[in-house]
Structure 1
């Protein structure tokens, strides 16, 4: 396998004096009903070497777990419509800034926690501090992806939740590999990243976030939901 970066992305990065390759793995469009074992066997298992880290985007794990929903299927409650108006939207995604994604945040996290996060965020924004909403709402809220025009169909009109049991998923994927490698389920975008579950320790996860900081897989039509990190 020849290592090549996605368009507009760098193949290599230097972290703590070590150069790492971030090798994207192209797949077909992953659909609900696809099996994780088959996807890993088809697109990753033969390419991973001893000492590598295989990183899997949380989105394809969630899709295969049946956690994607077309916008037309979602009925947002009035509270979701109200709260979504006050979420900051960015150029990289709408987050919980539409009623449909906020509706799932209320379902996944619970109304009391979302209301508390919104109240704290409203106060701290007055003092120029941002990010408290997601810090309080937690990983489940942060991992909810809304529809964006650049996303591969049919997910350009879908809401995709975070995956269930990501740490267990990472351990299972590691058991499928032929090589002695580590695995991480990641939520990475152009604003940064979060490790939802991995076979790495805490220090390893922190380093992984830095290695993936520039989102080497990209945000749109690249169709590379898997990647390999390899120290040179």
Structure 2
């Protein structure tokens, strides 16, 4: 009897050890990244810029910051989508992908074949992307959307990924802008720019397009979506994997909400965490029972209100989920110091709603709301992401 009891205790202890081992193994698995490969955004150079011929070259980085894991890149290729004011049928497009590995024994192949490459732990390699456009209609191309497709292969399996680059190719003529319009308590001037991308630097954008028209006392109002785009706060729905929280919670939002899709909700989950989204949903539901609306957005945080789902902005960003900008107050304070103008980041729609995300010192929120109520920047593809406000 005693032997049986001892054997039973031993079996229970062994079972507990196995269970603990399995939990530890699962915990270690979940802590490791699906793959540690990071894409370093390309730097681009316009080598040829002629009426019927554009050639631009970018150098993209592939970095593996992980200590201990290696990542193989067995495939990498690129394609280009042209955004134009006219037809692109007569434009001949050629894309080359050239590996620029640091090892001299790994030169690029003459036939353009991408040979499988290992990005070793804490190392980096580079890839050159050459895009050549020729033909009638090239001068009408506003921007090129370069999609770099690659496969990350390693301990967690095979992961097809896509990195996106946006290159502006058509720029407003110097001094070209809109017309001053009357507004409540001010005059407003919509400022036309090129298609803003993550390649842009905000102070340079203001120096190029705003400062030639500004005078002391003016206020620069910038849309929140262009700020987020410049910050690179874009999420490709194809790269998102909606989890349990996202797929369940999104069902309770109106179809017009950017959180009504599993991918839109997953974008918020990745920004603030599953637990916060779940608690915000439960807390918001309880608050609604007692007649208080909007509880979810208050509990989930500012980003919940600012997310723009697919179709929420102009091409090519209409294919992406655009998050709200990060650190808006720091941005306006920095720009105000550099320009000596008032600066604000705003969210405006055609229904007369004006939300001020951040404003520099001395800028009246009430003035901004009154001046922008008619949405002078527009909600279509006007490409006027900045409005200069001149108070009376």
* Residue 206 of structure 2 corresponds to residue 40 of structure 1: yes
8 Å Cα contact 1:108-1:141 kept in structure 2: no
Distance in 2 separating the partners of 1:223 and 1:206: 25
Given the alignment, which residue of 378, 381, 384 partners 1:218?
Answer: 378
| Gap change, CA 1:130 and 1:211, over 3 Å in 2 | farther
Please report how far the alpha carbon of residue 125 of structure 1 lies from its aligned counterpart in structure 2 after TM superposition. 4.0
| Distance apart, 1:215 and its partner CA | 2.8
1:147–1:159: 8 Å Cα contact kept in structure 2?
Answer: yes
Alignment of 1:16-55 (within 5 A): 19-55=185-221
| Separation of aligned partners in 1, 2:209 and 2:377 | 15
Say which of 258, 264, 274 aligns to 1:111: 274
SS of 2:213's equivalent in the other structure is coil
Classify the secondary structure of the residue corresponding to 2:329: helix
SS in 1 for 2:212: coil
In the TM superposition, what is the alpha-carbon distance from 1:211 to its structure 2 partner? 3.3
* Per-residue CA distance 1:25-58 (angstroms, 9 max, x = gap): 1111111222212211111121221111101112
Q: Does 1:12 align with 2:177?
A: no
Say which of 326, 347, 356 aligns to 1:164. 326
Q: Whole-Å Cα distance in 2 between the matches of residues 73 and 169 of structure 1?
A: 29
User: What SS does the corresponding residue of 2:364 show, helix, strand or coil?
Assistant: helix
Q: Where does residue 77 of structure 2 map in the other structure? A: none
Unaligned segments of structure 2, at least 5 residues: 1-174
More strand by share: 2
Taking the aligned partners of 2:383 and 2:291, their CA distance within structure 1 comes to: 37
Pairing partner for 2:336 from 145, 166, 174: 174
Closer, same or farther in 2 for the Cα pair 1:189/1:128, shift >3 Å? farther
Distance 1:63 1:213 in 2: 23
Aligned-partner Cα distance in 2 for 1:78–1:116: 14
Computed over aligned residues only, the root mean square deviation of the Cα atoms, in angstroms, reads: 2.4
Q: So what's the TM-score if we normalise by structure 2?
A: 0.50
Deviates more, 1:124-133 or 1:37-46: 124-133
Mapping of residues 54-203 of structure 1, within 5 Å: 54-90=220-256, 94-126=257-289, 129-148=292-311, 151-177=313-339, 180-191=340-351, 192-201=353-362
CA distance in 1, matches of 2:209, 2:278: 42
Q: Deviations over 1:177-207 (max 9, x none)?
A: 2xx4200112222452322222135x82244
Name the CA distance, whole Å, in 1 between partners of 2:195 and 2:289.
43
Q: Which runs of 5+ in 1 are unaligned?
A: 6-10
Compared CA separation, residues 146 and 223, structure 1 to 2 (3 A): same
Distance 1:231 1:135, change over 3 A: same
Output the TM-score relative to the length of structure 1.
0.81
Report how far residue 156 of structure 1 moved.
Answer: 0.9
Does the C-alpha gap of structure 1 residues 95 and 172 become closer, same or farther in structure 2, counting only changes over 3 Å?
same
Count how many residue pairs are aligned between Structure 1 and Structure 2.
Answer: 216
Rounded to whole Å, the distance in 2 between the matches of 1:109 and 1:188 is 24
Q: Counting helix residues as a fraction of each chain, which structure ranks higher? A: 1
Residue equivalent to 1:8? none
Aligned-partner SS, 1:46:
helix
- Structure with larger RCO (C-alpha < 8 A, sep 6+): 1
- Cα distance in 1, alignment partners of residues 276 and 371 from structure 2: 32
Large movers: runs of 4+ above 6 Å: none
- In the TM superposition, residue 3 of structure 1 has moved relative to its aligned partner by 5.4
Larger Rg: 1 or 2?
2
Shift of 1:117: 2.5
Q: Structure 1 residues 82 and 206 mapped into 2: Cα distance closer, same or farther (>3 Å)?
A: farther
